[in-house]
Chains A and B, each alone.
Chain A
């Protein structure tokens, strides 16, 4: 327990990180309680109030605090349900990339030789492509849709995790405590997951929390290009795409989803930076 306390102390020093954590917690609460928190359904269309401006602008009404879009859906409700989607996207993508990357990275580090070469060169090939381009290619193969977009982004993220796990596993493998465990007769699986992996956790946690924002951003970009979530799903990137033509007439249709993406990504980046600072000088006293 005191370890957790020391961790919190070194984390709490960083104001930005605490802010990021607060925003993230807020988003989680909103996402979980979306059904109660949102005033309307995200796909319900109010045909009599198309493109209503937000409440503080002339013509705005408290019925739709952030206004409505071109088919009369309440933007606030769509953003709240969108948070649910974005968090789910981040979680799925990061979990997928993390698990697969950890398995591949550990295998490469422990097996060495030809296995190592094959895994790492494959990852290099994936890295060669610009991330969004690769995601588009993957979606083009799998077909558009939210799930396929998540798969695509996970594949784009895979090399980062694989390389990170391999590098930290290799440096841990060279240390004497691994040798000691091995000379006690430990098998490879035990060495991998019980001995080495926990000691690689710190950089992984940081990478994962930073990866969260990247995943949300990339999924939004795919959505914006029409390759991710399909309308009327209230995904932030898809919302942006649908509103593009109204940017001169109704700024709010475009601005609020953009702000939501910005704030979320910023929060996760701050959180990740804070985690890195708190975890990186390993177990300082």
Chain B
């Protein structure tokens, strides 16, 4: 399988504050993330708000340059022109479509910007894409506010595919939708993946959705991956205490899935002032002095990379 996107030790830091009386701080929003994304595969990035998953999405779509590290598209360093190979679907379908443009012109705009085809060819391409995502032809001239959330997300997906990208970065694409609509959009994403051999970088906080759609899962905590491997292994045998806490906290309709043995406590530490050792130590039931002082590096456990000093003994 060909690798379409590779991230090598990506970091993205922001300088913050720096007021009159305050020293400047650095937020390490993404701090050392590496992955490879292959044709037709889905890599899910999960974690809570503030874990850096949305920053990772912005770096992967080249909206922001990484502070250090390299992003390779089809083996070559990412350039703005290669950026057309990576397109994005956003969380909020109400903010991601220009309210002053019709569906047709929203879909044709990426082609117009990149001077692909002439007017009639662009319109034909837009209409074809509308059919593929399940929109009706007569909706071509309508404005976004005339559509429901689910339909808007279909429009957003269609727009992302207009330039024929290899990779689609989907930042929480279904979390603003109702359950029944969520299922429709997830199915659509999977159908389109099969048809166009798309690779998805799927950002989500919903483990149920991730479990359904992903091949690989990366669990992030405070800018760093804590567990990264094939979905089956991560879900069946979570080794990092944070993964276990996330799984335990996710409400389940199936009584058998409930693991009441793990207590869920504490909140994310301030990213301005991260702990010296393991970032999760303050909430971890297994933490000891070593965890508080020495940062664990990811280690390989049969294909799953886990950043925990005690990954062998836990679980």
> Which chain A residues have a beta carbon within 8 Å of chain B's beta carbons?
3, 175-177, 179-187, 190, 195, 198-199, 201, 282-283, 285
Contacts and interface: CB of A to CB of B under 8 A. Distances in A.
Contacts of A175: 95-96
B284 to A, nearest CB: 35
B114 A183 contact: no
Interface string B159-170: 110110000000
A198 B62 CA distance: 26
Contact of A283 (B90, B91, B145, B160): B145
B41 interface: no
Nearest to B90: A176
Contacts of B97: 177
Contact of A198 (B80, B87, B100): B100
A21 B156 CA distance: 40
B113 A183 contact: no
B84 interface: yes
Contacts of B99: 177, 199, 282-283
Decide if the interface of chain B is mainly helix, strand, loop or mixed: loop
A285 B92 CA distance: 19
Interface string B83-104: 1101110111001111110000
B98 A183 contact: no
B11 to A, nearest CB: 21
A184 B96 contact: no
B55 interface: no
A229 to B, nearest CB: 40
B109 interface: yes
B110 interface: yes
Interface string B104-142: 000001100110000000000000000000000000000
Interface residues of B, number: 30
A185 B114 contact: yes
A2 to B, nearest CB: 10
B90 A179 contact: yes
Given A176-B95, A180-B159, A198-B100, A186 B63 contact: no
Contacts of A184: 84, 87, 109-110, 113-114, 159, 162-163
Given A3-B143, A285-B145, A181 B98 contact: yes
Given A176-B96, A282-B99, A283-B145, A182 B114 contact: no
Contact of B90 (A3, A180, A185, A186): A180
A177 B98 contact: yes
Contacts of B42: none
A185 B113 contact: yes
Contacts of B145: 283, 285
B200 to A, nearest CB: 16
A198 B105 CA distance: 14
A183 B95 contact: no
A183 B109 contact: no
B61 interface: yes
7 contacts: A177-B96, A179-B90, A180-B159, A182-B63, A183-B62, A184-B109, A184-B162
Contacts of A282: 99
Given A176-B90, A179-B63, A180-B156, A185 B98 contact: no
A177 B95 contact: yes
Contact of A176 (B92, B109, B110, B143): B92
B98 A199 contact: yes
Q: Which of A201, A282, A283 has the most CB of B within 10 A?
A: A283
Given A176-B95, A190-B113, 12 more contacts: A175-B96, A177-B95, A179-B63, A179-B88, A179-B90, A183-B86, A184-B84, A184-B87, A184-B109, A184-B113, A184-B159, A195-B98
